[in-house]
Chains A and B, each alone.
Chain A
Amino acid sequence: MSTDVTARTPAPAPPGKSGGSAGGGLLQLMLNGLRGNMRQYGMLLALGLIVVLFAVWTDGDLLLPRNVSNLVLQNSYVLILAIGMMLVIIAGHIDLSVGSVTAFVGAFAAVLTVQHDVSWPVAVVLCLLVGAAAGAAQGFFIAYLGIPSFIVTLAGMLVFRGMTEILLKGQTLGPFPNGLQKIGNGFLPETGPETNYHNITLLLGIVLIVFVVLQEVRDRKRQQEFSLEVPPRNIFLLKLVAIVAAVLVVTLLLASYKGAPIILLILGVLVVGYGYVMRNSVFGRHIYAIGGNLPAAKLSGVKDKRVTFFVFLNMGALAALAGLAIAARLNAASPKAGLNYELEAIASSFIGGASMSGGVGTVLGAIIGGLVLGVLNNGMNLLSVGTDWQQVIKGLALLLAVGFDVWNKRKSGS
Chain B
Amino acid sequence: MAGPVLEMRSIVKTFPGVKALSDVTLTVRQGEVHAICGENGAGKSTLMKVLSGVHPHGTYEGEILFEGEVCRFKDIRASEQHGIVIIHQELALVPFLSLAENIFLGNEHATRGFINWNDTLKHASELLRRVGLHDHPETRVADIGVGKQQLVEIAKALSKKVKLLILDEPTAALNDEDSGKLLDLILELKTQGITSIIISHKLNEIRRVADSVTIIRDGQSIETLDVKSAETTEDRIISGMVGRDLEHRFPDRTPFEGEAGAAPALEIRNWTVRHPIDQERKVVDDVSINVRRGEIVGIAGLMGAGRTELAMSVFGRSYGRYAGGTVLKDGKEISTRHVADTVAQGIAYVTEDRKHYGLNLIDTINRNISLSGLGKVAKRGIVDEHEERQVAEGFRKTMNIKAPTVFEPVGKLSGGNQQKVVLSKWIFTGPDVLILDEPTRGIDVGAKYEIYTVIDQLAAQGKAVVFISSELPELLGMCDRIYTMAAGRLTGEFERAEATQEVLMRQMTKDKEVTR
Contacts and interface: CB of A to CB of B under 8 A. Distances in A.
Q: Size range of the interface on A?
A: 35 or more
Given A3-B242, A289-B363, A292-B362, A299 B357 contact: yes
A27 to B, nearest CB: 14
A280 B385 contact: yes
B42 A296 contact: no
A359 B362 contact: yes
A301 B363 contact: no
Contacts of B362: 292, 359-360
Interface stretch (A5-13, A187-195, A255-263, A380-388): A5-13
B375 A282 contact: yes
Chain B contact surface mostly = mixed
B223 to A, nearest CB: 16
Interface in A252-309: 280-283, 285-286, 288-289, 292-293, 295-303
Interface string A1-31: 1111111111101100100000000000000
Nearest to A12: B17
B253 interface: no
B6 interface: no
B243 A300 contact: no
Contact of A292 (B360, B400, B402): B360
B372 A300 contact: yes
A289 B446 contact: no
B516 interface: no
Contacts of B356: 293, 295-296
A11 B370 CA distance: 29
A280 B385 CA distance: 7
A285 B339 contact: no
A241 B169 CA distance: 53
Given A2-B400, A289-B360, A302-B371, A281 B383 contact: yes
Contacts, number: 136
A299 B315 contact: yes
Contact of B16 (A3, A13, A303): A13
A282 B39 contact: no
Contacts of A211: none
Contact of B14 (A14, A32, A292): A14
A359 B342 CA distance: 25
Q: Size range of the interface on B?
A: 35 or more
A301 B404 CA distance: 28
Contacts of A288: 360, 363, 367
Contacts of B378: 281-282
B349 A8 contact: no
A299 B18 contact: no
Max chain B C-beta neighbours (<10 A), residue from A6, A11, A296, A360? A296
B371 A283 contact: no
Contacts of B339: 298-301
A69 to B, nearest CB: 35
Contacts of A298: 316, 318, 339
A295 B19 contact: no
Contacts of A286: 374
Given A5-B218, A228-B405, A296-B356, A413 B15 contact: yes
A226 interface: yes
B371 A300 contact: yes
A196 interface: no
Contacts of A115: none
Interface of B: 14-22, 39, 41-43, 217-219, 242-244, 315-316, 318, 338-340, 342-343, 349, 351, 356-363, 367, 370-372, 374-375, 378, 381-383, 385-386, 389, 400, 402, 404-405, 407, 414, 425, 446, 449-450, 453
6 contacts: A5-B402, A285-B367, A289-B363, A296-B360, A299-B349, A301-B339
Given A285-B374, A297-B371, 20 more contacts: A1-B400, A1-B453, A7-B18, A7-B20, A8-B18, A11-B17, A14-B19, A32-B17, A282-B374, A289-B363, A292-B360, A292-B363, A293-B359, A299-B316, A299-B339, A299-B351, A301-B339, A301-B342, A303-B340, A360-B362
Interface of A: 1-11, 13-14, 17, 32, 35, 222, 226, 228, 280-283, 285-286, 288-289, 292-293, 295-303, 359-360, 412-413
